[in-house]
């Protein structure tokens, strides 16, 4: 594994990049090598929830399905927040049932996500993707057992350097999500911030991958 891309919406289709491609239940692409699957809080459709959850339940049994998600809570989305919570809870139960890590989308709802993890007694790893908040929020999430994934905002927001440097090396991942920049660009910046060589960072990401996914 040269470059591990924790979360992307489009496969790089390269031998030196191992990526987890985000999939939606109603738009599933069978040709995807490795994927996560979940109901994004933006795209909850009441009439389709049961059918989508059943598809997720089935796909989580596949070896090349590495995680559930992205799913989560978003207070800026138009979907009613109470409905988001219900759908997120049901997906977390599926993650526990199948012992799959969870790719979490969270906007302005970190306290609620932490509370749900505690309330449901979630034991599988939960990774906040696209993290962009301050050290206080990061510490609170880390103290509650979350992992953090960095990508778009690491590139676009120079102030995130301080936060990123404070994250323990065994508790983060790197991603491209929907940006045009390649995973190499994310790695190069992350390596610079962490005072590591890209090769050392690759080894670190391989170790974190093994801890979270290779069970």
pLDDT at 214 over 90: no
Confirm or deny that 161 is annotated as ligand binding: no
Q: How high is the pLDDT of residue 33?
A: 94
Q: How high is the pLDDT of residue 215?
A: 64
Confirm or deny that 70 is annotated as ligand binding: yes
Q: Compute the distance between CA of residue 149 and CA of residue 129 in angstroms, rounded to an integer.
A: 5
- Name the pTM for this structure: 0.97
Phi, psi of 79 (to 5 degrees): -65, 130
| Whether 93 contacts 62, CB under 8 Å | no
Q: How confident is the model at residue 103 (pLDDT cuts 50, 70, 90)?
A: very high
User: What value does the mean pLDDT take over residues 136-140?
Assistant: 98
Confirm or deny that 129 is annotated as ligand binding: yes
65-99 burial, b for 16+ CB within 10 Å, e for fewer?
Answer: bbbbbbbbbbeebebeeeebbebbebbbebbbebe
Residues 181-193 have pLDDT tens digits of: 999 999 999 999 9
User: What value does the mean pLDDT take over residues 73-86?
Assistant: 98
Summary mean pLDDT of the chain: 97
Structural domains of the chain, ranges and CATH numbers in brackets: 3-210 (3.20.20.140)
pLDDT at 130 over 70: yes
- The percentage of the chain sitting over the pLDDT mark of 70, rounded to a whole number, equals 99
Confirm or deny that 47 is annotated as ligand binding: no
User: What value does the mean pLDDT take over residues 83-108?
Assistant: 98
């Amino acid at each position: 594994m040269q470059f591990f891309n924790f979360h992307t919406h489009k496969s790089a289709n390269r031998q030196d990049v191992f990526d987890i491609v985000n999939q939606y239940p109603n738009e599933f692409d069978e040709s995807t090598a490795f994927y996560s699957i979940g109901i994004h809080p933006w795209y909850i459709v009441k009439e389709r929830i049961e059918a989508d959850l059943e598809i997720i339940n089935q796909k989580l049994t596949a070896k090349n399905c590495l995680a559930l998600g992205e799913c989560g809570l978003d207070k800026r989305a138009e979907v009613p927040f109470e409905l988001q919570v219900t759908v997120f809870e049901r997906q977390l139960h599926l993650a526990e049932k199948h012992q799959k890590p969870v790719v979490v989308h969270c906007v302005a709802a970190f306290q609620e996500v932490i509370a749900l993890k505690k309330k449901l007694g979630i034991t599988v790893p939960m990774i906040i993707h696209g993290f962009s908040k301050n050290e206080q929020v990061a510490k609170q999430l880390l103290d509650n057992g979350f992992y953090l994934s960095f990508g778009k905002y690491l590139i676009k927001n120079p102030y995130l350097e301080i936060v990123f440097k404070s994250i323990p090396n065994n508790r983060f991942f790197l991603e491209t999500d929907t940006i045009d920049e390649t995973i190499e660009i994310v790695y190069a910046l992350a390596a610079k911030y962490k005072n590591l060589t890209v090769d050392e960072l690759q080894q670190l990401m391989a170790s974190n991958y093994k801890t979270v996914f290779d069970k």
